[in-house]
Structure 1
Amino acid sequence: MVLGGRHRGPLDFLLEQFRKLTKYVDGTAHRSFQVVLFLFLVLAVFLMLGFLHVDFKLLSPLLRDKAQEPPVTNIMFLKTHKTASSTILNILYRFSESHNLSTALPEGSSFHLGYPWLFVTRYVEGMQQDDSLHHRFNIMCNHLRFNFPEVQKVMPNDTFYFSILRNPLFQLESSFIYYKSYAPAFQRVKSLDEFLADPWKYYNDSAGLKNVYAKNNMWFDFGFDNNAPVEADYVHTCLAEVERRFHLVLLTDHFDESMVLLRRRLRWQLDDVVSFKLNVRSERTISHLTPESQERAKRWCALDWQLYRHFNRTFWTQLHAELSPRQLREELEQLRARRRELTTLCLQDPEPKNKTHIDDWNLRPYQSGNAEILGYNLRDGLDNSTLRICQRMAMPELQYMAHLYSLQFPNKTPKNIPFLKE
């Protein structure tokens, strides 16, 4: 409909009808009648928006801005191995430091919370030995083998639990390179293809916990038996247990989508989840499995494969329930654009460097096995405020943990990181 050269939409028509109706109402009833008509108008507008297929999710940011809930600050992250979990650890450490929160850190000279043994509270610095005297922390994110009853003693009742999984083919390949000289199952073979051709020739499940990196490592991290038979009832019970305990399970293979969903669930700001890739390997230390080895890896790590497939489905279900396709595209672009801005602001070169080419020793990452772990150089001439932001984003996990430990426990002996002195 066109009036006076201007297109008249449904809202214009409803407003005109509203004005006409109010002309016929006089006296004391006039104000009440206007209120009723206004409510009717609001209802009519929303009905018409639905009829016109307007995405109501596009209105949700406006509604949230008017009554913004506070960010989630009590968080337990199960840090699985070789799943980009070091990058998430950095995100959580930064949030903890910038919001002056307390983090459950490994006690004494330790770097893990008791891993690979099942977690118990005594692995946390500052926890009382008497279980009746609990010290509740805000953030828990260092490597541990999940043990929910004990974790509950450390974290508040309203804690948000989340973790991350990776396609087991890539996770096993990364573990093989990273733990090549540590896991007995990997020490006598030249390649993962060779190992997978006859894994029982090299793998011994009685060789102690060092071999947990060689078979169903993610399943093990969740507290389950990585050598258990792949029986339907057992797998179903374990998957249901993870769903009960964890509010969200992310995917390494879709890291940016994971950060978009995580930010929404935690009600955080964009900069809180922007990150640089940490603990990343050089391309020359990444191998590619043959098609035959890929099928063998699926069978060898069948429990991890079941875990990954299940939560690959739940992740996309949750993501699509939370965001429309348009919202997802917009928020992914915002995340990536901000990462590009901070990369330009902070780094000499966006590509990570070999440790020998990293100027600041405190930004040199730990090296393990046959992996060549890369790090970053910061730009020169950054002002103090920007420098602190950039240092935090580029700081490897061991150095950042030692930094937080000194802040939280200034009277304790600082963490010693031997490789920084080599």
Structure 2
Amino acid sequence: MPCRAKTNVMFLKTHKTGSSTVLNIMFRFAEKYNLTVALPADQLFHLGYPKTFVAQFVEGFETIGQNYNIMCNHLRFNPLEVKRVMAANTFYFSILRNPIRLLESSYVYYKNYVPAFRSSRNVKEFVASPTKYYHPADYRENIYARNIMWFDFGYNNNAKDDTRYTQAVLKEIEQNFHLILIADYFYESMILLKHALCWDLDDVIYFKLNSRSQDTVQTLSPEDEERIKAWCSLDWKLYLHFNQSFWRRIEKTIGLKVLEKEVDNLRTRQKELMETCLSEQEAVRKDQIRNRAFLPFQSGAADILGYNLRQDLDNRTMRICEKMVRPELQYTSHLYAVQHPHKKRKEV
């Protein structure tokens, strides 16, 4: 029996996990089916983050109530409050990334914002003795420096790594979320998402957004990696647990053979669309982006890449391509203007 596409979906947007690309997928789907997105109120681009989420952070909640279809901007998860906004049959999913890669990415991206990062010279120096730079008094500003995924899911990122506690949290996350994707296997994640939501292949096609140039990536030794696993042990447990369930889910629902075939289809379609849309066929550095409307937010020492569209596109193709490359802040602002035309537009 053919399934029906799920249109009530909540995506917990974690940090530095490829989640901006997923947000673009969600926004495009919302536009395609004219769905209502739970957007941040007023001039904000996140749903109250890093404060724990409450329904009032959503624009129009008082009048719209529990009639939103899509929620995907950054928030710190709080299931009871999210359920006030989202319908009872909402599909919940999120994405995790290997904490080793994640911490290195966070370090470069948040270098200027996080006290623990600011006071160390580079990521190697930080992970060599994190407690030298990470002070509990600065915990609010330092969330990106330790167990950030654990924090995003609503838990204490400085909690003691106690087996009973971590097992209870993992169980709770399993109860709250229908699916957890793994950023390190992004193509596979998109195929799994497509199946879980009963969406079409074109719904999960993407151009990688908010990625940075390779020359800002800092190299880590095996010792550094072990130190990160110990320092971010809660995130490490979270990642290991859901990496296992991710592959179990694939084997149970799709099978590796079908997965491989569908990943090939996704790659092919992605390549076709990049050839259609992009003048350079790939992401370019910030100073090479011609249209400032497609310039992603820049942060820290990371050179966040973007795209240039071809100039010879017909109107219909141009609209498709623009959506594919529209950065997170610009897309949020655009949807906000469409959904709340009487409110002051969000300034990017």
Q: Could you state the TM-score of these two structures normalised by the residue count of structure 1?
A: 0.81
Counterpart Cα distance in 2 of 1:290 and 1:208: 27
Please, which of 356, 372, 386 is the counterpart of residue 317 of structure 2?
Answer: 386
Matched, 1:311 2:242: yes
1:230–1:302 CA contact under 8 A, matched in 2: yes
Deviation at 1:347, TM superposition (A): 0.4
Pair member with larger Rg: 1
Q: What is the 5 A alignment of 1:138-287?
A: 138-287=69-218
Corresponding residue SS for 2:22: helix
Unaligned runs of 5+ in 1: 1-66, 418-422
2:66–2:87 CA contact under 8 A, matched in 1: no
Structure 1 residue ranges, 4+ long, deviating more than 6 angstroms after superposition: none
- 1:301-345 residue CA offsets vs partner (Å, 9 max, x unmatched): 000000000000000000011123321121111111100110100
**In the alignment, which residue of structure 2 is the partner of 1:288?**
219
Which structure ranks higher in relative contact order (CA pairs < 8 Å, sequence separation ≥ 6)?
Answer: 2
Counterpart Cα distance in 1 of 2:244 and 2:136: 31
Counterpart of 1:409 in structure 2: which amino acid? H
Please, which of 34, 41, 49 is the counterpart of residue 107 of structure 1?
Answer: 41
Deviation at 1:208, TM superposition (A): 4.2
Counterpart Cα distance in 2 of 1:216 and 1:138: 30
1:126–1:135 CA contact under 8 A, matched in 2: no
1:128–1:135 CA contact under 8 A, matched in 2: no
- 1:86-132 residue CA offsets vs partner (Å, 9 max, x unmatched): 00000000000111000000000111101001000111000118xxx
**In the alignment, which residue of structure 2 is the partner of 1:369?**
300
Counterpart Cα distance in 1 of 2:157 and 2:255: 38
- 1:252-289 residue CA offsets vs partner (Å, 9 max, x unmatched): 00000100110011011110000000000001111121
Counterpart of 2:212 in structure 1: which amino acid? R
**In the alignment, which residue of structure 1 is the partner of 2:344?**
413
Counterpart Cα distance in 2 of 1:149 and 1:386: 41
Matched, 1:91 2:22: no
Counterpart Cα distance in 1 of 2:260 and 2:238: 27
Matched, 1:78 2:9: no
Counterpart Cα distance in 2 of 1:206 and 1:278: 34
Counterpart Cα distance in 2 of 1:325 and 1:142: 31
Corresponding residue SS for 1:308: helix
Matched, 1:127 2:58: no
Counterpart Cα distance in 2 of 1:398 and 1:254: 25
Counterpart Cα distance in 1 of 2:115 and 2:178: 35
Counterpart of 1:93 in structure 2: which amino acid? F
Percent identity over the alignment is 52
1:285–1:371 CA contact under 8 A, matched in 2: yes
Q: Could you state the TM-score of these two structures normalised by the residue count of structure 2?
A: 0.98
2:47–2:75 CA contact under 8 A, matched in 1: yes
2:250–2:256 CA contact under 8 A, matched in 1: no
Corresponding residue SS for 1:209: coil
Aligned residue pairs, count? 348
**RMSD between aligned residues:** 1.0
Deviation at 1:386, TM superposition (A): 0.3
| CA spacing shift, 1:269–1:161, aligned 2, 3 Å | same
Counterpart Cα distance in 2 of 1:138 and 1:127: 13
Counterpart Cα distance in 2 of 1:252 and 1:90: 15
Unaligned runs of 5+ in 2: none
Corresponding residue SS for 1:206: helix
